[in-house]
Amino acid sequence: MRFSRPAPTLARTYGLAVATLLLPVAASAQVRYVARFTLEKQSFLLGEPVFCTFSIHNFGTEPFAFSYRNPSRIVNPELEGEPMFIVVDSAGNRVPDPAPRPCGGAKGTAVYGSVSLPAGQVHTERWLINEWARLRRPGKYRLRAERRLPLLGLDAAKEQFTGAPVAYAVATNDLAFEVMAAGANELQVAFEPYKRALERPGTAGFGEALLAVTTLPQPFLLENLAALASASAQERQWDRERVLVGLARLGTRAAWNAILETARGRKEAAAKSSQGAPAIRDDPARAYAILLLAEKGDPGFLPSILALLEHAPENLRGEIIRSLGLFHNARANQVLFEKLHSSVVSDRVNAILGLRNLESRDAIPALIAMLNDPEAQVRQVANFALERLTGQSFRLSSSAQAAESAQVEKQWRAWWREEGARFVPIRQPPCRDW
């Protein structure tokens, strides 16, 4: 196997990564490519999306293949083939990175497909740099863009692509750009193409527009975002959770009211009712809207959340109860302690998890008492919540009966008598960028 690259001076001067690879297959096909990052322009308005284009040109004689997904940032940056972007200001200081830190840990995985690039063809992707850099003031900036993309070569003897990479398309580029101050009217003009795309779901530019306006939401986009967040199941063709985060980033009272309307699910319920169908049941977007409202912690939203609790279906009911601990509010806390005595097992379980979210020493005695609950599931969750809240661990086997739970309860009580006076609950770091 022979692998050659241009001299480092060429890569630095022209910002290209060029490689030729002779494959150890029957036809000795060649993989040759040029890979690089470029900026579509050198100046942007403050608040305008900054897109960087990755392109790879196959100038060999045979096709090659590589993995592809929707070009937006994912939680795990260590996955092979992911790009890396670092932005520094004119003084050389790194611009803050709003890295994704989803509450409760990473959700889901990235879904990859495969792209086959014929000889002579170019593949391009546009990456939104604002997902990696919070550009909040005018000035001159430099972008360091890197990627190491595994390429699969064509095995002519088997007439299929190789299972393992035969080359890596390496691109490393240093790019300069400027961010300029702008008035509201100028910014609105800059967003007009994205706004038009949002009004045409299913078209080619919709996904990129959604990424741009939810990462950099603007007041003049409120109506669009609210409509996307509250869309009914028949209309829905997008990630409503992303839209809800965009509204939270916008942060105006009107934006938070739009999130509340999604939590209430009125548009969806109306759509179902008009069709003679049952009212909406377990809608994940409603649950996510409730979570965001709780994390906001505005007590003005609490009456609406408690009103939803009265008639919510089971899954949504659990989300509401758990979220009450995030309000850090006396009324919300009262409901949680009351739910510990509910005749419904799932209510007791979710009340325990809500008290864990409270992250308060006041919850410890009540959680210890729940180790005597008649239901094994409740006892297990209580022990889990105590461990997460305190950092202590008293093992409770997965098949523990009441007697074993009672012994663990005694251990927790002994620990609390010894350590309670100086105990400080473990608090989770903030996980939002709004």
The answer to whether residue 399 scores a pLDDT higher than 60 is: yes
Give the chain's mean pLDDT. 87
Q: In this predicted structure, what is the pLDDT of residue 15?
A: 41
Bridge partner list, 178: 43, 140
Are 259 and 241 in contact by the 8 Å Cβ rule? The answer is no
Helices (H), 168-265: 184-198, 206-215, 222-229, 240-250, 253-264
pLDDT over 70 for what percent of the chain? 86
For the segment 212-239, what is each residue's pLDDT rounded down to a tens digit? 999 999 999 999 999 999 887 666 678 8
- The mean pLDDT value for 354-364 works out to 94
- For 73-109, how does the pLDDT look when each residue is reduced to its tens digit (9 = 90+)? 987 778 889 999 999 999 999 999 987 666 655 555 6
Answer yes or no: is pLDDT of 52 > 90. Answer: yes
In whole angstroms, give the CA distance from residue 339 to residue 344: 9
Whether 282 shows a pLDDT value over 70: the answer reads no
pLDDT at 4 over 60: no
Residue whose C-alpha is closest to residue 364's, from 339, 391, 346, 396: 391
> What is the set of domains in the chain, with CATH numbers?
2-180 (2.60.40.10), 318-434 (no CATH)
pLDDT of residue 31: 84
